[in-house]
Amino acid sequence: MIKLIKVTRSFNGQRVLDGVDLEVPKGKITVIMGKSGAGKSVLLKHIAGLIKPDSGQIIIDGFDITQATGRELQEFKKRFGILFQGGALFDSLTVFENVAFPLREKTRLSEEEIRKRVRERLDQVALPPEVEEKFPDELSGGMKKRVALARALIQEPAILLFDEPVTGLDPPMTNTVFHLISKTHEEIGYTGVVVSHDIPEVFQIADQVAMLHRGRIIAVGTPEEIQRFPDPVVQDFIHGEIDYMEA
């Protein structure tokens, strides 16, 4: 469903993506791993059409989004749900309005239907009704993550991108969020791309794992295949035996 072909992108003369080739199968969950600064968030933003590559193609359902006009891209973005690293909630909107936002922007549902759907999603991430009228500043980090997750899931999108959905959460909440990602994946059947540092925990929700290193995908396979992948860079990363930072 999603195919990246020789995607390159530099920032201020520094090449972050240096010919990324990756196929993300439809209806499956692909996990992208790699060191901090490797370009994982940049890669996700390319898939979401938020950043244009310097060269290369990004094909989604047979359509090259790098060639899309502003209007076409706008239409395209309706099919995506994104959970940004850091949550990116609107600070001036309540929890309710944050979660309702994609529905207000992309659908014409009645107020009653919006209320119902927001409540359902907040229930799933274990946030009680009294949280709905709070502002993001009044929430803990983990609660913000869960609100952001509820917002990403609410449109039941065809493609869901998660940038570090569990970073900063405690172990039980990490499990809850991974469970929720799997469960909603079973229900909705979206194509998912998850960036995560929680190795090997994230492998339990992955159909496919890809490793980004020095601007390229150096390994792709099932979690089992990746765990046996012979490249020492991959092995060291999985076993946490290298300097964490790439840049």
Ligand X SMILES: Nc1ncnc2c1ncn2[C@@H]1O[C@H](COP(=O)(O)OP(=O)(O)OP(=O)(O)O)[C@@H](O)[C@H]1O
> In the complex, which residues of this chain contact ligand X (CB under 6 A)?
11, 16, 34, 36-42, 85, 247
Q: Cβ(165)–Cβ(149) under 8 Å?
A: yes
* Closer of 127 and 169 to ligand X (Cβ): 169
Return the SS3 of 117: helix
Cβ neighbours for 82, distance < 8 A, ≥ 6 positions apart: 44, 48, 152, 160, 161, 162, 163
Residue 181: name its binding partner from ligand X, Mg ion, none (Cβ under 5 to 8 Å by kind): none
Q: Is the peptide bond before 230 cis (omega within 30 degrees of 0)?
A: no
Residue 25: name its binding partner from Mg ion, ligand X, none (Cβ under 5 to 8 Å by kind): none
* Closer of 109 and 220 to ligand X (Cβ): 220
* Closer of 33 and 206 to Mg ion (Cβ): 33
Q: What angle do CA 151, 154, 158 make, to 5 degrees?
A: 115
Q: Which residues bind Mg ion (CB under 5 A)?
A: 41, 85
* Closer of 38 and 127 to ligand X (Cβ): 38
Burial class (CB in 10 A: 0-12, 13-18, 19+), 193: buried
Burial class (CB in 10 A: 0-12, 13-18, 19+), 7: buried
CA–CA separation, 81 and 123 (whole Å): 19
- Shortest reach from residue 38's CB to ligand X, in Å: 4
Residue 16: name its binding partner from Mg ion, ligand X, none (Cβ under 5 to 8 Å by kind): ligand X
- Shortest reach from residue 11's CB to ligand X, in Å: 3
Residue 171: name its binding partner from ligand X, Mg ion, none (Cβ under 5 to 8 Å by kind): none
* Closer of 4 and 154 to Mg ion (Cβ): 4
CA distances from 175 to 113, 181, 182 (A): 30, 10, 11
CA–CA separation, 43 and 39 (whole Å): 6
CA–CA separation, 58 and 22 (whole Å): 9
* Closer of 154 and 174 to Mg ion (Cβ): 174
Residue 11: name its binding partner from Mg ion, ligand X, none (Cβ under 5 to 8 Å by kind): ligand X
- Shortest reach from residue 122's CB to ligand X, in Å: 27
Residue 36: name its binding partner from ligand X, Mg ion, none (Cβ under 5 to 8 Å by kind): ligand X
- Shortest reach from residue 126's CB to ligand X, in Å: 26
- Shortest reach from residue 66's CB to ligand X, in Å: 17
- Shortest reach from residue 212's CB to Mg ion, in Å: 11
Query: Which segments of the chain does DSSP mark as H helices, in order?
Result: 40-47, 70-77, 95-106, 111-124, 141-153, 171-188, 223-227, 232-238
